[in-house]
Amino acid sequence: MMQRTFWLVLILSLAMSSFCSVRAEEKSTGVPAEYKLLYSQDFVQPGSMSDFTMTDPKAWRLAKAEKDDAALELLGKSKYKPPHRSPVNFALLKDLRFGDFILDVDCLQTGREYGHRDMIVVFGFQSPAKFYYTHIATKADDHANQIFIVDDAPRKKISITSNDGNKWGLNEWRHVRVERKLAEGTIKVYFEDMEKPIMVAEDKSFGDGWLGFGSFDDTGKIRNVKIWGPSAEKKEVPAFPAKDKS
């Protein structure tokens, strides 16, 4: 009986050790120890899209990406007219608001090559007239490859620094990270290299808000979404204004 108990305890100990190791490996490099995994999505399940509210649901679908990996795909232009000059093609996580966070996501840009070829991450979303977004593009100027704020006015660049641009490539997945700290007002964006940000901003206009993905003018896919942070507020995003029917 004692021998059987010994082996049972040993097996359970090994199992727990393996489980703890897997859990530890789930935390990405650079994520603070006190941060928890607040949201994770691989888009494998058919109902994955129900986690999101889109500016135009008809512009999105679940799709099979390279190597049969599932992804959320932006197919084309959304029939949506924002109150101010700002992105029209994006999908927000509909019932979670984030304050401090680290977002890790894989992005595949599927549009043509040109200077403003982009994908965006929306965050701190308060309403269609108040939010931040980072625009990751091939070439940088005052309207591309920057961090922007929409605050009851057309989008405005708030980047302190940004690089000259980023190569999306053709059929190439790129890893993107966005970090935000409310107390310091800091926003950092990383592209492939997780050691050096491609753009940095400081702004405290908005606090906790909803978060999402999309593109200003183009198309693309996202997968392997992970959002880390101290906590998230469970609250549903308000509906977008009626779609532009023109």
Which residues does residue 106 pair with via DSSP β-bridges, in sequence order?
175, 223
Q: Return the pLDDT at 19.
A: 37
SS3 9: helix
Contacts for 78 with CB less than 8 Å, ≥ 6 apart: 54, 55, 56, 58, 59, 88, 89, 243
Alpha-helix runs per DSSP H in the chain: 2-26
- Phi, psi for residue 48 in degrees, rounded to 5: -60, -35
Q: Which of 124, 111, 134, 107 is nearest to 225 (CA)?
A: 107
| Mean pLDDT value across the chain | 89
Percent of the chain with pLDDT over 70: 85
Alpha carbons within 13 angstroms on the beta-carbon side of residue 3 total: 0
Residue-level pLDDT at 239 = 83
Q: Give residue limits of the domains in the chain.
A: 33-234
Position 35 pLDDT exceeds 60: yes
Q: What is the mean pLDDT of residues 44-57?
A: 95
Supply the pLDDT for residue 182: 98
Fold of 33-234: Jelly Rolls (2.60.120)
In the predicted structure, residue 240 carries a pLDDT above the cut 90: no
Question: Per residue in 121-178, pLDDT tens?
Answer: 999 999 999 999 999 999 999 999 999 999 999 999 999 999 999 999 999 999 999 9
Going by C-beta distance under 8 Å and a sequence separation of 6 or more, which residues neighbour residue 79? 56, 58, 59, 243, 244, 245
- Split at pLDDT 50, 70, 90, the class of 28 is confident
